[in-house]
Amino acid sequence: MRFKIVVIILFSGFLIFGSCRKSYENYGKQDIDIKTMSDLKVSSTFDYKSTKQVNITVQLPYTVDYSSINGRLDFYYLDADLQEVIVYTSVADNNGFYNGRIEVPSYLEGIYVRNLSGDYYIEFSGSLKATLEGGVLNFGSFLDTIPPLDSTVVKSATYRSSGGVRIPPFVSGIRHFKSTTENLIQNGDFEINDFGSIDDWEDPMVADGRWYETSYIGNKIGRVSLSGSHVLRFSSTNYWEYGGVAQLIEANSGNLITLSAEVKSANNNGVSWIYLIPRDVSGNSLAFFTREIPVVTNVWTTYTVSATMPAGTVSCQILLWNEFYSGRTVYFDNVVVTGPSTDDDGDGVINEEDDYPNDPLRAYDLYYPDNIQFGCLAFEDNWPQTADYDLNDLVVDYQFKQVLNANTALVELYADFSVRAIGAAYLNSFGFEMPVPSSIVQSVTGNVLSDNFITTSSNGTESGQSNAVIFVTDNPKNQLPYPGTGEYVNTSPGAPWVEPDTLHLHIEFISPIALSVAGYAPYNPFIVVNRMRGREIHLVDQLPTALADPLLFGTGNDDSEPSSGRYYKTVQNLPWALNIPGHFDYPLEQNEIISGYLKFAPWAMSSGAEYSDWYLPNISGYRDDQYLYNMPR
């Protein structure tokens, strides 16, 4: 059961109309009249990246023993359609600790982190939310090991404050659909009106699939119908009460058991918990693993607790527990318990967290830019001369999938490429370089080299290169043929749309490669211009390959300085290529990007500090669609 979170992001901007003429204030403390790209005043150090790298430290819950299993972490955000956009996947060490650097779209202000024990949000800047302790997201700080209230507790008029509970930011959620996960308990959705009774939570129980109400507030518990679905409601009219419902499942020592439940509170008069309580053969409680539920009024939210069962465990009690003041009402639904977790392929990754549960050589899929969408590479091909900045000479959409083993080493690489536009007369080849020896590549399949321009070795990498250079296509016009009218392909209004042909590359390696060595997608993409092998165009400050002609640097309008690591910038600090971590509606033929993207100029002139979301659609004042190519949807 995955907990979805509604995030509303408010955007603001300004737009000054008037043909292609725009004025942007307060850059360099002066008004700048922007007519063309050459009018931009851009810092010499700006790299034109639409992504940023952030450091994240996570401590997984102490209730789980990670000495023999991996602890998977998924980092994601929610798009406009509330899809979970996973930008990174990794694992914690045997102590449940993770410290890493992930790459995300620059406009994101935070990221959600998913572990078996729940989903939480981390802010990248500003004051850290309560989920962070000293910059560390500690899943254990949401858990406790205290027992529930019982008959020996002296009743008190003092309300048990939840002030010490660390409440995750943006914890509000939308309603789940019914889970299809195999559930160890029965009637987790409360659609069956079948309940027993016990005196208190610590009474003997049997694993018979029934919920048992504690008698003290048994008359305050009942099924009700909400939005066409049955849920469990607890309500109180007295000043102070406590109680709950419990179900027993079979469990054994070393089992990893996970409990999740959706909870909604109608008010804040009380506290609720969910419990995993392992029991021994005599029915005695061996431990208490609990998650206190903060008050989130009238919003369904999923809470989770995971724990490794201690020695002597023969069963585990699932307990939904409440402490009431008068008027307290709380609802539970979709209670799911999973376990014991198994590892069928023996790679140290439990099936629930293994993308390849029956393959010991593979464990995780790591996508770039993410698991949902394609990124976009847009090239100008007139280097080293000045470009016309319609950025449509070659437009290639891409999505990489790095397949990792249990140690997060790269086993193989899948990459999809779709040539979406060719706005040039030149015949440009497209490829990318990986920072690994070409000899470590076993094979490359799925690319198309048909014109005998690129010479390859037997493993499919380009010959004469020490690093692995893989060409996707040596002639993009084979994937996107000219339609017979219009100036080029998919760049002119009124000309027929040509449906792109997607190439599916598969790269296998002789042995797994550590990600610190293999690097990360999109690696080092580039084009070779018009059959001149030495004339390469890369993203800003990316190194040329060994076959690039060094004599071209510093000629024409190029201001590269190889000795200082400066590459592929004009003397005005403008690029010849952009990488967009999402969809990009490139400009129409011979329309500069600033004409269609009204926030590109302030983004560039602020070195990315302003309008880092400049390319996103559906934001008022950000675009002038008459200058952009609108592909059929």
Give the pLDDT confidence of 392-407 residue by residue, as tens digits.
999 999 999 999 999 9
Give the pLDDT confidence of 468-483 residue by residue, as tens digits.
999 999 999 999 999 9
Q: Report the pLDDT value the prediction gives residue 329, as an integer from 0 to 100.
A: 86
The values of phi and psi at residue 41, to 5°, are -110, 95
List of domains in the chain? 22-48+374-581+583-627 (no CATH), 51-142 (2.60.40.10), 161-338 (2.60.120.260)
Please give the structure tokens belonging to residue 178: 């019914």
Q: Span 30-43, mean pLDDT? A: 81
Its sign, for the CA torsion 154, 158, 164, 169, is positive
Q: Report the pLDDT value the prediction gives residue 5, as an integer from 0 to 100.
A: 32
Side chain identity at residue 514, one-letter code:
A
Looking at per-residue pLDDT, the higher value among 129 and 189 belongs to 189
Side chain identity at residue 397, one-letter code:
D
Other C-beta atoms closer than 10 Å to the C-beta of 158 total: 7
Q: Report the pLDDT value the prediction gives residue 296, as an integer from 0 to 100.
A: 62
Length of the chain equals 633
Q: Which strand ranges, in their side-by-side order, compose the sheet holding 524-528?
A: 467-473, 429-437, 524-528, 536-538
Give the pLDDT confidence of 130-149 residue by residue, as tens digits.
344 556 788 888 889 999 97
Give the pLDDT confidence of 58-72 residue by residue, as tens digits.
999 999 999 988 999
At residue 181, does pLDDT exceed 90?
no
- Cβ–Cβ < 8 Å for 553, 542: no
- Cα–Cα dist 277/259, whole Å: 11
At residue 11, does pLDDT exceed 60?
no
Looking at per-residue pLDDT, the higher value among 630 and 526 belongs to 526
At residue 178, does pLDDT exceed 80?
no
Looking at per-residue pLDDT, the higher value among 623 and 173 belongs to 623
At residue 599, does pLDDT exceed 60?
yes
Give the pLDDT confidence of 417-448 residue by residue, as tens digits.
999 999 999 999 999 999 999 999 999 999 99
- Cα–Cα dist 275/262, whole Å: 14
At residue 242, does pLDDT exceed 80?
yes
Looking at per-residue pLDDT, the higher value among 179 and 361 belongs to 361
At residue 265, does pLDDT exceed 70?
yes
Q: Report the pLDDT value the prediction gives residue 136, as an integer from 0 to 100.
A: 78
Beta bridge partner(s), residue 416: 399, 504
